[in-house]
A and B are shown apart, each in its own frame.
Chain A
Amino acid sequence: MSAVLQSLVNQPYKHGFVTEIESDIAPKGLNEDIIRLISAKKNEPEWLLSFRLKAFQKWLTMTEPEWQNVHYPKIDFQTISYYSAPKPKKKLASMDEVDPELLRTFEKLGVPMHERAALAGVAVDVIFDSVSVATTYKHKLAEVGIIFCSISEAVHTHPELIQKYLGTVVPVGDNYFAALNSAVFTDGSFCFIPKGVKCPMDLSTYFRINTEGSGQFERTLIIAEEDAFVSYLEGCTAPRFDTNQLHAAVVELVALDNADIKYSTVQNWYAGDENGIGGIYNFVTKRGLAKGKNSRISWTQVETGSAITWKYPSCILRGDNSVGEFYSVAVTNNYQQADTGTKMIHLGKNTRSTIVSKGISAGHSNSSYRGLVRISPTAEGARNYSQCDSMLIGDQCGAHTFPYIQVHNSSAIVEHEASTSKIGEDQLFYFSQRGIDAEEAVSMIINGFCKDVFQQLPMEFAVEATKLLSFKLEGSVG
């Protein structure tokens, strides 16, 4: 078991490098002045500043949660710089105008943006350290009435939409990190699909953390009006750093009657070295509100990076017949920790939810599935199916499941299943007998294990995810 497995597991982070772009960094620390500074820098209207200040006041009264199954040294929020933006330049109209240094960064990641955009027809809203630099395909989207831009731009161009929806799904005081984000968020994506529009392409944002020591506080807001459909992709990679970086993003989704939102994530941030030094703290609040009748919200995530991943993409199924889905693969290695899962809150009649979660732990890592399925008294005829499987590679790692099931309505049908297994010697033997070496066999078995989730990913992402997983676990079984 050990030799190949070890080398697989010990694959160094392939995306570690720092791009040197001049940054405009705010002084470290957090207080009202910093919030006013961020707001002023971004030229924000008064209502947004008061939204931030309200959140900050809330945050001051809250304490950092400790119930989660992850361990890390206390974060000193006064040593983080809350704003960093590339030097202001004039807005870019085409890819050619994008900073060549930036383009090279994406090339190093193996996903050349122009190629990706051209070949795959993906509009990439590049988030490079908190400020949106270029947005492609904007015009094409504008033709059908879709608004896809950075949230700071939307604040100026569509203030009525932001004011109407911002903070409605994740209120400013929802939790400690959501409150922090609401106070200091710098940028993020905004997406609005008007009534009856099916978004003609997958929308994608490529997140990257740059500038050592700056926490990123992304804010994403996606609204799908009646009968609209959108598939949104979020991908993350980060350069290699030694100090822990905090990432506390908030994602809010709103689906009105018959709307359908599909949100996919591939997360491969720097996970720290083999001794658990460094790496990103990924504390994210993601929540979708299936507000209208027959609406559907689907989360798919492939979590491979970050020293600590702590997030529960959730669905509030308020509309009758609404559907919530959660498909997740979480891979942890070395000293990584993941506490992830979902919450399905059934409020409307005949609401349905599906949870498929696959956890793979190797090295000294720990991964937990923590989920909540709540059927409230009003959710007549609700239905839930959950499945969470874990796979352990090595005997130093741990897998945990904490499924909370709360049923307050007798017409509900709730099912939960979980299993834990390992890659069997006989499975490997079978492969080797067919001339497939252990490494490839492991990769195939793991891909098979995660198939249910990968199937939910859009094509390009599925390819990327498969690749990611195999080099994440390269050499981990022998």
Chain B
Amino acid sequence: MSEAVNTDYLDCLLKSWSTKSNEPLSWLHQLRARAIDHVSAQRLPTKRDEDWRFTDISALARLSYQSAQPHDDLQAQDIEHLHIKEAKNSLVFVDGYYSAQLSTIIDSAALEIGNLPELLLTHGTILESHLGQYAKFDNNVFAALNTAFLRDCALIIVPKNTVIEEPVHLLFIATQKEVTSYPRCLIIGESGSEITFIEDYVSLQDAAYVTNSLTEISLSANAHASHIRIQRESTQAYHMANCAVSIAHGSNYQSVSISLGAQISRYDLDVQLIAEAAECAIDGLALISGSQLADTHTCIDHMKPNGTSRQQHKCIVNDRAHAVFNGKIIVRPHAQQTNSSQSSRNLLLSKTAQVDTKPQLEIFADDVKCAHGATVGQLDQEEIFYLESRGLSETTARSLLTYAFGAEIINRIPVISLRQQLEQTVLTQTKNNK
């Protein structure tokens, strides 16, 4: 795996980057320029990098995928089946570009929602202080690329003390093959606000493409956010995602992320508890088969005292698939009274399935409670036997137990219709297993 090979993918994208002279805001332009400088200074990670030890993206490095171009012959009925009925507001992005005709915004009085170029005119100052401030790209080539190609961006600003009951649906649809798209989201929860949003990645075709997404979330004091992330890309796609979350005093961040698609998917979630008494709960489920690879790296950084975090990550791995989990919990000096727990549970359904898990603790304060656990195993023979004794066939028993393993995570999704939809997906998938 030489570096010469690596440059292909990056070179190709670097060449296509151009400055737009008619850029209205210099800060945004500077941000992009700074990011492109970082891209050219970096290379694609290889298995020699500790953070990418188990995830080989050398295949991606050889692809010469251009950035996607806007493409708008998609009709509302094409995506009807992707609609989530609870969601009143939805923003739809096609290959990373905002589609106003497919999106529905009805709540604009209570909540600032829309695409970056429009909101820049009215909310320039607030956006300047948040956009690109949480996702550091000096050491992350995918975050740098996303920032360099930043154009459209899903924006939600929840005003002070506003509670938004209905979830917001952010739908990212891939329609072109052999391109790279750059979905981007920024969610700002002002103090005392509350919101639920669904970040949903889908594909309308079974083709190879690259999705490089980046989400930034900032919660002010006592804000609540529930973040549901569904990745159901084509099984030939590459999905490289970063999410950076910053949560302030007394705020609460809850995240459920479900990973079903993509040939290689990588999700880096970075949560910083920047003030006292912040709370976060992070759940993840990867359900993969064939030769898929799903890699989740999370980092929960307790920077101030009295923080609480809970994390549960589950993987169900079949065929020759490979699941990777790396969960780091940092407790900084003086972040006393931190309470943190983490568990990584993995279910292997076939002999050739593979799991690499590394729950990691770095603790620099003494008055803390931190625990982590990891298990890897297969379905319990006794449990299967019990169900068989009740008249279920072995296949049914297996799929029921597998489903139950995943259901624990899915049940944490607060949106009913989405939950039912996912339960159905998991059931179908587990039935297909043997």
Contacts and interface: CB of A to CB of B under 8 A. Distances in A.
B361 A420 contact: yes
Interface in B364-381: 364-378
Nearest to A401: B361
B333 interface: yes
Interface in B353-369: 353-369
B73 interface: no
Given A393-B366, A407-B346, A418 B359 contact: yes
B180 to A, nearest CB: 31
A420 B363 contact: yes
A67 interface: yes
A421 B363 CA distance: 10
Of listed A377, A393, A399, A412, residue having the most chain B CB within 10 A: A399
A411 B370 CA distance: 30
Nearest to B342: A418
B393 interface: no
A157 to B, nearest CB: 45
Interface string B45-84: 0000010001000000000000000000000000000000
Nearest to A423: B366
A406 interface: yes
B377 A413 contact: yes
Interface in B88-106: none
A76 interface: no
Contacts of A421: 369
What's the dominant secondary structure at chain B's contact region?
Answer: strand
Interface in A407-442: 407-422
Interface string B362-406: 111111111111111110000000000000000000000000000
Given A407-B355, A410-B349, A395 B370 contact: no
Given A407-B346, A410-B349, A416-B359, A397 B366 contact: yes
A400 B361 contact: yes
A403 B358 contact: yes
A416 B349 contact: no
Interface in A323-366: none
Contacts of B361: 390, 399-401, 418, 420
Contacts of A401: 359-361, 372
Interface string B249-278: 000000000000000000000000000000
Nearest to A420: B370
Given A401-B360, A410-B349, A395 B376 contact: no
B354 A412 contact: no
Interface size range on A against B = 35 or more
Contacts of A390: 361, 363
Interface string A372-404: 000101000000000000101111111111111
B358 A404 contact: yes
A405 interface: yes
A412 B360 contact: no
B373 A417 contact: yes
A402 B356 CA distance: 13
A395 B335 CA distance: 9
B348 interface: yes
Given A395-B334, A398-B362, A420-B363, A410 B369 contact: no
Interface string B288-319: 00000000000000000000000000000000
Interface in B210-262: none
Nearest to A422: B366
Contact of A412 (B350, B373, B377): B377
Contacts of A377: 351-352
Contacts of B378: 410-413
A396 B333 contact: yes
Contacts of B371: 417-420
Of listed B334, B366, B377, residue having the most chain A CB within 10 A: B366
Contacts of A396: 333
B336 interface: yes
B363 A400 contact: yes
Contacts of A402: 358, 360
A417 B359 CA distance: 10
A417 B372 CA distance: 6
Interface string A98-109: 000000000000
Nearest to B353: A410
A404 B373 contact: no
A401 to B, nearest CB: 5
Interface of A: 67, 375, 377, 390, 392-422
23 contacts: A67-B50, A390-B363, A392-B363, A392-B365, A395-B365, A399-B361, A400-B361, A401-B359, A401-B360, A403-B358, A403-B359, A405-B374, A406-B354, A407-B346, A410-B353, A412-B378, A414-B374, A417-B371, A417-B373, A418-B371, A419-B372, A420-B368, A420-B369
- What are the nearest 4 A-B pairs in CB distance? A410-B348, A392-B366, A416-B374, A414-B376
Given A403-B358, A410-B353, 7 more contacts: A400-B363, A405-B358, A405-B376, A406-B355, A415-B373, A416-B372, A420-B361
